[in-house]
């Protein structure tokens, strides 16, 4: 198990995200409503670097010709085919069984760490 310093919590909060490479693996680290989440940057669809995608919200189910945009800054959209994933759970919005791979995060004295090499840090589905 290896613990990697990423940024201070304040730096991550201001930037909202940080893309890092740890032990050869690209990982996106996100601050979402006061929580920190780290995801392996591999889209479950075709494997592109999903953490280079857009962070925003999504259109919730609504009536025809109505648009209900919500959950701003909580959704990661893949840059290739625009699949949308919940940044808190890693779940694909249209099929909760499809998930990003989670890494354990630790916040200690305002410092954010990502853990690799543990069961949770090896890319186990969240
Ligand atoms: S590669 Fe990500 S949605 Fe297709």
User: Ligand 1: which of 44, 51, 81, 93 to mutate, judged by most atoms within 8 Å of the beta carbon?
Assistant: 81
119: pLDDT confidence band, cut at 50, 70 and 90?
low
The confidence score (pLDDT) of residue 29 equals 98
Condensed to tens digits (0 to 9), the pLDDT of residues 92-104 reads: 999 999 999 999 9
For residue range 13-42, what is the model confidence (pLDDT) as tens digits? 999 999 999 999 999 999 999 999 999 999
User: Using CA atoms, how far apart are residues 72 and 85, in angstroms rounded to an integer?
Assistant: 12
Q: Give me Rg for the CA atoms of the chain.
A: 15
10 alpha carbon – ligand 1 mean position (Å) = 31
Which is more confidently placed, 122 or 108?
108
Q: What does the pLDDT look like over 31-83, one tens digit per residue?
A: 999 999 999 999 999 999 999 999 999 999 999 999 999 999 999 999 999 99
Ligand 1 centroid to Cα of residue 68, in Å, is: 24
The residue whose CA is least distant from atom 1 of ligand 1 is 46
Other CB atoms within a 10 A radius of the CB of residue 6 amount to: 20
Spatial distance between the Cα atoms of 118 and 97, rounded to a whole number of angstroms? 22
Domain ranges of the chain: 2-116
Q: Which CATH architecture has domain 2-116?
A: 3-layer Sandwich (2.102)
Q: Residue 123's pLDDT is what?
A: 46
Neighbours of 78 (CB within 10 A): 21
pTM attached to this predicted model: 0.91
């Amino acid at each position: 198990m290896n613990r990697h310093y990423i940024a201070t919590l304040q730096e991550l909060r201001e930037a909202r995200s940080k893309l890092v490479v740890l032990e050869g693996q690209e990982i996106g680290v996100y601050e979402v409503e006061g929580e920190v989440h780290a995801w392996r940057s591999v889209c479950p669809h075709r494997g592109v670097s999903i953490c280079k995608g857009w962070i925003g919200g999504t259109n919730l189910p609504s009536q025809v010709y109505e648009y209900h945009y919500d959950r701003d800054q909580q959704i990661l959209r893949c840059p290739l085919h625009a699949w949308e994933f919940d940044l808190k759970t890693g779940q694909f919005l249209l099929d909760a069984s499809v998930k990003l791979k989670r890494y354990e995060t630790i916040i200690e004295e305002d410092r954010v760490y990502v853990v690799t090499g543990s069961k949770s840090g090896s890319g186990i589905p969240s």
